[in-house]
Structure 1
Amino acid sequence: MDFEEAASRLYAAPSADFIATRNELAKELKAAGDQLGSTRLKALRKPTVAAWLANLVARELPDDIDDLLALGDEFRQATADLDGERLRELTPRRHKLLDQLSKSAAGLSEREGQKISADVGQKLRETLDAALVDPAAGEAVRDGRLSSALRHVGFGVVDESGEPSNVTPLTDERRKRAEDRRTKAAEAKQPADDTGESTAQKAKRERAEREEEEREAAEKAAAKKELEEAVAAAESAEESVTDLAGRLDAAREALADAQEAVHRIGEELDEARKSARDAQKESREARKRYNRL
């Protein structure tokens, strides 16, 4: 088992078992010699109910999610082309698909014994809509490892707290497939060279190769940054735990010393009071003897 498999198993676990499952999988990775994977896994956050539901939909209805993301491709292309008529045609499809996915999600959650509130249902719909609008959010939803619901706002995608989400920007491969469909007719009209490749096909292939190289470089850079941040966060958390444990032990020792001192001082106080009473008694007796003289 590697980190990717462990992460997939973790986010497929029931929400109530997330922490226990994470600890167990992290132990397995560490026992297998993958200390880095174990540290990365321990840095993963427990999903909110809305995120858990989105992850469930991604696992159970991958084809429907692909349809949603493909529709997002069409929206972006129509927007780029300033095709108002096409956008008007796509909008009802957008609402219908979101309605269908939301209804299916309700059935899945009921099957899992999880009651879904209206607020969670709305957050799921916003997450699915963000996946349609933003390619990076779409990839994150399809991966099924969200820890927070998503929402698309004017400047990008935010999480449930309103903070910018940590979805990793990726090149949208589905956009390339849409471009392929649009150029298919043109390719058929282009003369082929000695290799049987038309000018349009050659240009498309070269463009795809460049985009693939750029995508891989971006993914590696993003993955490296994510890994470094996760490792740093986990190491910082472990240092905090160690520090707090040491301070707790010191506090317990100080408390034990203080309790011992209280007991000892109490005994000394009792002895001092007894001595004071004896001295007072002796003083009174001495005064009486003096007065009789």
Structure 2
Amino acid sequence: MDFEEAADAVYAAPAADFIATRNELAKQLKADGDPLGSTRLKALRKPTVAAWVANLVARELPDQLDDLLALGDEFREATADLDGDRLRELTPKRHQVLDKLAKDAAKLAADQGQKLSADVAQKLRETLNAALIDPAAGDAVREGRLSSALRHVGFGVVDENGEPSNVTPLTDERREAARDRRKTQQAAEAKAAKEPEEPKETAAARKKREAEEREREKQREREAAEKAEAKRAFEAAVAAAQEAEARVEELDSQLDDAREALAEAQALVHRLGTELDEARRAAREAQKESREARKHYNRL
């Protein structure tokens, strides 16, 4: 078993067994010669109830989840194309898909003995909605390893504590493709209309496209820098955890040695005490015999 398999098993475990399962599999990874995987596994956070149910959806209802994420793709394409009719058509479908998936998820949880409160049900729905809206959140939900529910707040995804969610940022190729389609369509319409200002409009469109490309390149560079920094922080944390674990093992070994030395010292003290008692008895007997011998000698 490697780290990925162990992580899947940990998040697939019943919520009440998360810690025990994580610790047991971490020990197994370490015994199998993967101390880094063991340390990474022990760092996994226990999911909240809403996150646990979302992970359950990823495992048990993958087809419905795929339908939800595909609907999100349709929304993004329609938005990029400024297709108002398509957006009005998709909106009621969005509510229907979310309602059904949330209802089926609640039933799944109930089958496993987990009844959802109104607050948890709301957080679950917000998580599914975030998955529909944001591709990165969708991939995070699909992975089935959430530790916290998600919520879309307009400019990104946060967890249920309001903190930015630690989901993997992805390049939005679908949005770029939709923008390219819109530009191609606009260019074709301009050419067909044979407007006098076509060269100027084409130049303006080119400048706009180049500006957008430069902005996308800057965004990719920022994301790459953030990812590199996050990787360095993770590696530093793993190294610190390994060092701390090594120190714990060293102290455990020293403690065992000290206990063994103490046990040997206590055994030596006991043995010497016994020998001392026997020596004292022998001395008393010898003194007694000496007195008897002196008395006998004096009588002669």
What interval of TM-score do these two structures reach, taking the shorter chain for normalisation? 0.5 to 0.7
Partner of 1:98: 98
Take 2:149 and 2:129, find their aligned partners in 1: how far apart are those partners? 11
Alpha-carbon distance between aligned partners in 2 of 1:26 and 1:102, rounded to the nearest angstrom: 33
How far is the alpha carbon of 1:35 from its aligned partner? Answer: 0.6
CA displacement, residues 186-218 of structure 1 (integer Å, 9 cap, x when unaligned)? xxxxxxxxxxxxxxxxxxxxxxxxxxxx9xx96
Structure 1 match to 2:59: 59
The range that moved more, 78-87 or 43-52, is 78-87
SS of aligned partner of 1:122: helix
> In 2, are the aligned partners of 1:109 and 1:115 still within 8 Å (CA)?
yes
| 2:88 maps to amino acid | R
- Identity, in percent, stands at 77
Q: Deviations over 1:248-281 (max 9, x none)?
A: x9xxxxxxxxxxxxxxxxxxxxxxxxxxxxxxxx
State the shift of 1:171 in Å: 3.6
Q: Deviations over 1:62-105 (max 9, x none)?
A: 01111111111111111111111111111111100000001101
Candidates 225, 228, 231, aligned match of 2:235:
228
Q: CA deviation at 1:162?
A: 0.3
Q: 8 Å contact 2:36–2:242 — kept in the other structure? A: no
Question: How far did residue 223 of structure 1 move?
Answer: 8.5
Q: Unpaired runs of 5+ in structure 2?
A: 182-219, 256-300
- 1:4-56: per-residue Cα shift (whole Å, max 9, x none)? 00000000001101111000000000000001100100110000000000000
Is 2:23 the partner of 1:28? Answer: no
Q: Is 1:159 paired with 2:148? A: no
Residue type of the partner of 1:42? K
Q: Distance in 1 between matches of 2:66 and 2:143?
A: 11
TM-score (normalizing by structure 2): 0.62
Deviation, 1:238, is 5.3
Partner of residue 9, structure 2: 9
Q: Provide the rounded CA distance (Å) in 2 between the counterparts of 1:172 and 1:161.
A: 26
- Consecutive unaligned residues of structure 1, counting only runs of 5 or more, are 183-213, 250-293
* Alpha-carbon separation, structure 1, partners of 2:109 and 2:63: 18
Aligned 8 A contact 1:40 1:234 in 2: no
Contact residue 43 and residue 234 of structure 1 kept, 8 A: no
- TM-score, normalization by structure 1: 0.64
Residue 233 of structure 1: CA displacement?
A: 7.0
Distance 2:44 2:12 in 1: 13
Question: For the structure 1 residues 162 and 229, does the alpha-carbon distance in structure 2 shift closer, same or farther, using more than 3 Å as the test?
Answer: farther
* Other structure's SS at 1:29 match: helix
SS of equivalent to 1:54: helix
